[in-house]
Amino acid sequence: AFLFPPLSVFLTMGVSQALFINILLTLLGWVPGIIHALWLISKKSEKASV
């Protein structure tokens, strides 16, 4: 998630709206892309553990 945030979003969510949002955030600034990717990964992990 730290080196290339869109890749981690793609591996977690597949091709989705979240991927395109993450690409945009990464282009605007690397840190927003990382925050978004980590948030999506943690959100997906919470749903899997419930």
2-18 residue pLDDT tens: 899 999 999 999 999 99
Looking at residue 36, its amino acid is H
| Range of the structural domain that residue 32 is part of | 5-49
Distances (CA, A) of 34 to 18, 25, 49, 50: 13, 9, 23, 25
17 vs 47 pLDDT, higher one: 17
Q: What is the pLDDT of residue 45?
A: 83
> 22-30: long-range contacts (C-beta < 8 A, 24 or more apart)?
30/5
Q: What is the pLDDT of residues 15-40, one digit of tens each?
A: 999 999 999 999 999 999 999 999 99
Would you state the pLDDT for residue 2? 86
Q: What's the structural domain count of the chain? A: 1
What pLDDT score does 27 carry? 97
